[in-house]
Structure 1
Amino acid sequence: MKKILLFLSGIFVSVYIFSQENINTKIQETFHSISSHELLDYATELSSDKYKGRLSGSPEYLEAAQWVADKFEEWSVKPANTGSYFQYFNNAYTEVFSTGKVIWHGNIGSGNDKELKFPEEFFPGSNSASGAITGELVYVGFGISAPELGWDDYSGVNMNGKIVVMETGLPYSKNDTALGKWTPYAYHRYKFKNAKEHGAAGLIY
């Protein structure tokens, strides 16, 4: 009985190994059937000017996606369970209809006013509704409150109704090993939230 079991086990192992070898051979054959010229052609097509950079949600992006889907169908690649090569979802975006105007006033009465150019010198944010505010400008460095790292730009500063002026980035040096701990404080959404929690009426950065 043991001899029969061992014999059958040997057959199954042989079949499994043989099957694996067949699969690996087919994969290798498929890989080697793809030429570098074909890959270059695909990359050239998708990076061509007619797709205008394939901005998410743009007509050109959808056109490029359809080109890829057509290739999948040509290669007999089956679509997902939905029966489609596409999965649609909402994608939030910002569209500037009017740039507005930003004028930097020098000393009162000096005539040293400067109108900033869009988008080279200013860009309106998309994190709040439109509105008009007036307030004192207060510089708060990086706008970060990180007590566990011994840092708080708002310490001793009353921001109620005032406009925050801050820098992007983080207060760390190249030799700082705590970069990973600083990283969450670099995100714009954190800095906006932190300014709001400190009573700021607006933010410039």
Structure 2
Amino acid sequence: MTRYPVCDSDKDNIIGVLHLKNLLKESKNTPIDQIDLRKIMNEPLFVPETILTDELMSYLKKSHNQLALLHDEYGGMVGIVTLEDILEEIVGDIEDEYDESYVLIERIGDNVYEADGATPLHRFNDYFGTQLESADVDTIAGYLLTELGEFPEENEQASIEENGLTIKTLEFDNRRLLKVGVSYINENDRPAKERFKEDEAAAEAEEAADEAEETEGRD
């Protein structure tokens, strides 16, 4: 955890949120015990404990916060929730990235791909030649949902356009995003080796068809 609530005399009196990187940066010039936390902390985001997860996710995105403080009906603090907490509930466990037998990304048609929601961003980037980055999520499902800023309905296909790709929700299970659809906005952006394989396969198919016709003609 890199963000911490700052309270003033009482745990119910939260006055800000301190990011560890801001503290470390300030400590280069000022001794830790002399740092004025009020000068380097951020405004806290307070939400009622009854808030729905999709609404909370929208609040976090719009306010550029990664952490929210939950309060009860009397104004007392009851807990902390982070964007990472929410996304972990949706995405679920990530497969071992060294398990080569588990197919994370599959090409299922002409410029049509399916990616497991748990695909780590670095593997997604390696496959598609993209540079998707996030300091808060590790998977393509987490990235997509963060960019959308809300939870789509299970039968709804919501999409974003990033790095020359259209990335969309495909399959949910109990609010978890299991499958992500991917396609290149411009088909010519697909890897050259992939297009070459298609052309080669098409040429082989055409050659086979010609040979079949010649054989039939001789018969």
TM tier, smaller:
under 0.3
TM-score, structure 2 normalization? 0.21
TM-score, structure 1 normalization? 0.22
